[in-house]
Every structure is written in structure tokens, then in C-alpha cells.
Amino acid sequence: MSGDIIRPLDWIDTHAHVNDERFQGDLPAVLERAKQAGLKRIVAIATTAPSSFTCVQLAAQHAILWPTIGIQPNHVAEAKQTAWDEVLSLADRPEVVALGETGLDRYWDYTPLAQQEDYFARHLELARKIDRAVVIHCRQAEADVVRMLRQDYDKHGPIRAVMHSFTGDLATAQACLEMGLFISFAGMLTYKNAQALRDVAVRIPLERVLVETDSPYLAPIPHRGQRNEPAYVVDTAATLARALDVPIGVIAEHTTHNALALFGR
């Protein structure tokens, strides 16, 4: 060994629910492991009005966190009448990097689709107004999400946005790429049965790819079944590097650059 100091590569986890109760006991240790793994930033993703406040608070305590604000489609129906106004009350905070997660979800039926669409449209409109990115959740609703994005795009032009934890097909990815969106891959990319998703991933230009953990959910291999945490973003990136047959440093460089561009930092 030469004794050289080997610095880890730079990473950004573009989607983590660090406000989840499963991190309540040891968040500082989780964030320290992330730093050791080379993470420069972790985007703390809100799903409700209360968690929007929590994400902003956590970001004030931990410099590695960038907060988002918003209401996830499955949480729209249960939200209080005042919830959207509460989100709006955080909108002029400079540290907020994005709105969301928002989007559409036809897998769960917690919120009627019309109401999901109403809130998705509100997030898009507010993002344009305050010049922030949009984090989009899409589950079994690809055609509807693309339809709404296309309507918005035709009226107003490109928007800074990401399809988070992408699991759609190539046609959906291409429709999103045409509108200038980024495509983000999470732990599922590493799963044995996810060859179709890897086949899509290798077709996404490196200029548009992001990585995320969606912690604490769906940890990548070799952590599958455990609580997911931001440090594991490197495992998803390693899978992408193998699928593309490029050095992992190429993935680090592009995804970090892309995340900075998406979030305007």
C-alpha cells in the first residue's frame, strides 16, 4: 500500500425520508455514515404539511440536508383543510430546494385521483412561481402523470423536475426526457427481478440520471430487508455502473452534477 489517502467519491442522495420515525433514535449516526460514504447532500423529502416543517427543521440542524415541502398524493385526502396553506407558509424559505413529493398514485386508493391531480397541479404551479424543482412520485399512473406534465409543458415550457424512484417503461422515460425531466433510480434497480428496469436505466443519457435511496424503504442489495439509509445510495450507483459498464466514478460525477442542476444549487 502506498499510504495515499483515498477520498470517497462525491454523492447526493436525492430522496430520503430522514424524518421517518425509524431514524428518530440515531439520525446523527446515520448522517455521519453518509458523510463517510462520500455523500455531500441528502434531500429530505416531505410527504405532509407537518413533515414539511420537520424537514425544514432538520435541515437547520444538519447542514448536509436540503429540505423539500409538499404533500404526497396518498396523504392528500387525510390532510387538514389548512395543510396547503401551511406548505405555502414555508415556500419563501431559501433553503427549500424542491416541492414534493407530489404526483399520482393509482396503486393505493387513499386519495381520489381527481384530488391527487388537483394537488399535483398546485405543486407544479407553485414550483414555477417560486422557481424550485419538483419531486414526482408516480405509481401505476405513468400515463396520467405524463398527460399532466405535457399539459403543463405545452402551456409553460420546461420545468426542473425528477421522476423519483423510477419504475416505468422506456416510453414513459423518453416522454419525460423530452420534457427535460431527470430520471432517478432507487434500490429496486439492484434487485434480481429488476432486469427490465436495468434495461431502461442503461438507455437514459448520463446527463439526466439521478440516484436516491428513498430511505427508509426498499434498501438496495446487499442491504435488502434492512432499514435503508442514505449511505446505501452507493450500492444503487454501483449497479448502474455495472449495467452501463462504466467506472463508478463516472456515475458519481454525473449524478452529483445533475442533482446540483436539478435543485438549482
Closest to Zn ion by CB, 153 or 182: 182
Task: For the segment 88-147, give every residue that binds Zn ion (CB under 5 A).
Answer: none
Minimum Å distance from CB 137 to Zn ion?
Answer: 6
Closest to Zn ion by CB, 8 or 107: 107
Closest to Zn ion by CB, 142 or 214: 214
Binding mask 158-197 for Zn ion (x = CB under 5 A): ----------------------------------------
Minimum Å distance from CB 15 to Zn ion?
Answer: 6
Closest to Zn ion by CB, 213 or 239: 213
Minimum Å distance from CB 167 to Zn ion?
Answer: 13
Binding mask 205-244 for Zn ion (x = CB under 5 A): ---------x------------------------------
Closest to Zn ion by CB, 214 or 235: 214
**# binding residues, Zn ion (CB under 5 A):** 1
Closest to Zn ion by CB, 144 or 214: 214
Do residues 65 and 44 make contact, with C-beta atoms less than 8 angstroms apart?
yes
Minimum Å distance from CB 161 to Zn ion?
Answer: 15
Binding residues vs Zn ion (CB under 5 A) = 214
